[in-house]
Structure 1
C-alpha cells in the first residue's frame, strides 16, 4: 500500500518539475512558422513552347520573362482594355493634349501659384474659396438624382 502511495507521490513530483521547467511564453499561432506565407507566392503563367527554336529572342538580363506575373496588365485585358506597350498610355496623353500642349505650363502654373499665395503659410487662405464643402456637394448631387451612398461627416 505504501509503495502505491509513494509511486503516486513521486509521479506527481516529477510531473510538477516537468511543468515548472516548461516555457513561460504563451504560444501564439502567428509566431509559429511552419511553412511559406501563402499570400507572398504569386502563381506564374504557364510555360510556352516557341514555334521556332532557331529564332529565339535575345535574353534580357534583369528584364521580364513571358511567365512573369503581370496582375495589372491581366486585369486590363480581362476588362476588355489594351495594355500599353510603352511606359505611357498613349490614349490618355493624346486625349489630354487634344487642344495642344504648352511646353511652359509647369513654369506658368508655379508662377501663378506663387503670386496667389504671396507669402509663406498662406496656402490654405489663398485656396479656401476654391475648396469644396463635402456635405453641400453631397446635397447638390442628391438633388440632381445622383446615387450617393453615404453622407460625409459634417
Structure 2
C-alpha cells in the first residue's frame, strides 16, 4: 500500500513541477496568451475598378497617395448618414465646445497603455488565492465583480421610475 502512496506523491510532485515551469509572461486581459494578433479592421477590400468616361478624367498619380479604389470608411459613413464626406475625420463645429471641455486638462497620448497597466495591477491585487495564481486561472470576472452592473436590478429600478426601456427584454409572463 505504501508503494502506491509513494507513486501518487511522486506523480503530484511531477505535475506541480511541470506546472511551475510554464512561462507566465505578462498576463493580458482575460489571460489570453496569443499576444498581439492581427487587426481585422485594418484589412479593407478595395472598391471595384471603374472605367472613367474618358482617360483625360483620370487624376495624376501621386506616389504614396490615395487612389480611386481606396476605401475611405469615415467619408463613406458620412455620406451614408446624409453628411458631407469632406467633414469626415475632423471635429464638427457643433462639437468643438464639447471637445475643448473634455480636453481642458490635456490629452494623454499613452492612455491605452496606462489603463492596461492599471488594469493589470488591479487584477493582480484582487486575485487573492495563491492556487489561482499558480494555475493561471481566469480571474477577470472575479476581480471586477464589485464593479459590475446588475442588469435586471437596474432595469427594475428604471421601470419603477416609469421610464420606458424600449431596448430591454420583454417582461416575463406573470411579471408585473
Greater relative contact order (CA < 8 Å, ≥ 6 in sequence): 2
TM-score by length of 2: 0.40
Larger radius of gyration between Structure 1 and Structure 2? 1
